[in-house]
A and B are shown apart, each in its own frame.
Chain A
Amino acid sequence: MPDPRPVTKVLTYRHTLVVRISHWLNVLAICLLLMSGLQIFNAHPALYWGQKATFAEPWLHMGAVNQGDTTIGVTKIGDLSLETTGLFGYSGKVGSQEPRGFPAWATIPSYRALVDGRHWHFFFAWLFVLNGVFYVVANLFNGHIKRDLLPTKDQLTRKHIWHEIIDHARLRFPKGEEARRYNVIQKFTYLAVIFGLLPLMILTGLTMSPAVNASQPWLVALFGGRQSARSLHFICANLIVLFVLVHVALVMVVGLFNSMRSMITGRYVLYVEGDAQ
């Protein structure tokens, strides 16, 4: 039986040039910040809370442990101790394994070089910050944040939010007219990342600078010490990785080609029931 309601393919303009440019600059900056960040982390693969390191009691530690004539990688989180050979603590090609926090494929450069890691990190931190300022200022002016990112009244009802959570859990996403706008979970996530996670990343990063500590003591007080800031910087980086993984997975679920096209050309295809207007 044919569907009584016709479905029309509608080509919409979804992403402005500002959004597309800042999105891809961020992909570049975040990739290199992450890889160089892991290189820097590897110089001392342990994390602490407070102002100073408590070397015997890190809350997170990656290291190599000798067990008879073999060496294994061990990751400790609090009281939990996990064997992570090949990934964290001890990794590398067979025959040239070495003690290191994160493995060679995750760091830039692959070999141990804190000095290079710092150069990459501080260069791309500039791109990341300038790009972020450009994104926020431009989108405050053109109304993108208010129009597309702030949830509307109808999206904020308890019923609607619950409905979307159920739909998301079933990987059922809005189609047709409803897909013209971001859903409320998407909006909350983007707002949390753009105005929460990413600024927190910058602030915890600045807090590790001893010069910034002296001139802005409130920052280090806010995060509860320099080592706390380092821990929070690491945790936020992990949350960004988590966000990216879910983001990319969902892009694949809703349509890789359509999503990529819209983030490159701006055009997104919708299938709208009834005659297209």
Chain B
Amino acid sequence: MTDLLHRRGWIKGVGASLTGLWLAACDRVNDNPKVQETLLRAEGLNRKLHRALIDRKALAKEFTPADISKDFKANGSISPGDEDYRAHLKEGFANYKLKIDGLVDHPMELTLAEIRALPARTQITRHDCVEGWSSIGKWTGARLGPLLDKVGLKGEARYLVFHCFDSLEETLDGSGQYYESIDLVDGYHPQTILAYQMNGATLPVAHGAPLRLRVERQLGYKHAKYISRIEVVSDFKDMGRGRGGYWEDRGYEWYAGI
């Protein structure tokens, strides 16, 4: 009996050591910058293949009111503590203005009332989180395409950067501030809207009040919440850590169609 227990202990010890070695080896490979660089090559390949094969104007499926999730999950920031945001929230966004600037002919600052008066669209779509879950919601918002025409894009304009009120990570240099970027094809896509309503009611704080981007056909983290400013740029290399978004700066794919 003791022999058996001894043996069992010994086997357990060997098992634990081998597991430890295995984990250390895997993690070492994973953490090697050259390995990471190689793995990231697939991202470019995926984007190019999608761009070559997929009709970029294809519409995301739209659902019926019966399909709407009653338990739509709110992720990332759900109640930003940032001072500016808190002040706007207190005033019911009465003094909120969406700033649109950068490579545009007519920089603008729009109140919520002005945004609500823009050509709008309502759509019931599925929101796919990078974590794996999906929820279906009804969104109403101003179509981004007509708004871009209104401000007039300059020739060098390539990307739209969405600056947000929320800092998802507390940092001293401001690199924890949420932001996102999309290209002009997605910017002009008919389902790309600045949503101010969700499921027929004013957009709740947890889902990005007063304005959130809906860029259907990409994963959830592209759908920037708490938008304060849209900046039109020719590239985003000098912003944040240069990868075009909060999560992108932390390694996630800029093209989030997968």
Contact = CB atoms under 8 A, between A and B. Distances in A.
Partners in one complex: yes
A211 B54 contact: yes
A127 B210 CA distance: 44
Contacts of A52: 67, 69, 126, 134-136
A118 B134 contact: no
Nearest to B252: A115
B164 interface: no
B94 interface: no
A104 interface: yes
B27 A110 contact: yes
Interface string B59-84: 11101000101010100000000000
Interface string B209-236: 0000000111100000000000000000
A108 B24 CA distance: 11
A169 interface: no
Contact of A214 (B61, B131, B135, B251): B61
A126 B217 CA distance: 21
Interface in B101-128: 126, 128
Contacts of A223: none
A119 B42 CA distance: 8
B168 to A, nearest CB: 14
Interface string B14-44: 0000010011001100110000101111110
Interface residues of B, number: 49
Interface string A198-219: 0000000000111111110100
A110 B26 CA distance: 7
Nearest to A113: B30
Interface of B: 19, 22-23, 26-27, 30-31, 36, 38-43, 45-46, 50, 53-55, 58-61, 63, 67, 69, 71, 73, 126, 128-136, 216-219, 250-253, 257-258
B134 A51 contact: yes
A56 B50 CA distance: 34
B106 to A, nearest CB: 32
Nearest to A54: B71
B131 A114 contact: yes
Contact of A55 (B23, B73, B128): B73
13 contacts: A43-B131, A53-B133, A53-B134, A104-B23, A105-B23, A109-B27, A109-B30, A126-B45, A208-B258, A209-B50, A209-B257, A212-B257, A214-B216
**Interface bin, chain A:** 35 or more
B133 to A, nearest CB: 4
Contact of B22 (A40, A43, A55, A105): A105
Contacts of B55: 215
Interface string A96-115: 00000000110011110111
A110 B159 CA distance: 36
B58 A214 contact: yes
Q: Which 10 A-B pairs have the closest CB atoms?
A: A211-B257, A109-B30, A53-B133, A123-B42, A44-B132, A115-B251, A119-B39, A110-B23, A215-B54, A44-B131
Given A52-B126, A119-B43, 20 more contacts: A44-B133, A51-B134, A53-B69, A54-B71, A109-B31, A110-B23, A116-B30, A118-B130, A118-B253, A119-B40, A119-B42, A210-B126, A210-B216, A210-B219, A210-B257, A211-B54, A211-B258, A212-B54, A215-B54, A226-B128
A119 B218 contact: no
B27 A211 contact: no
A119 B134 CA distance: 21
Contacts of A54: 71
Contact of A40 (B71, B132, B219): B132
A111 B23 CA distance: 9
Contacts of B69: 52-53
A75 interface: no
A119 B130 contact: no
A87 to B, nearest CB: 13
A56 B46 contact: no
A51 B26 contact: no
Contacts of B42: 119, 122-123, 125-126
A211 B50 contact: yes
A55 B71 contact: yes
Contacts of A53: 69, 71, 73, 133-135
A119 B216 contact: no
Interface string A215-252: 10100100000110010000000000000000000000
B7 to A, nearest CB: 20
B27 A226 contact: no
Given A56-B71, A119-B40, A226-B128, A211 B218 contact: yes
A120 interface: yes
A208 to B, nearest CB: 8
A254 to B, nearest CB: 27
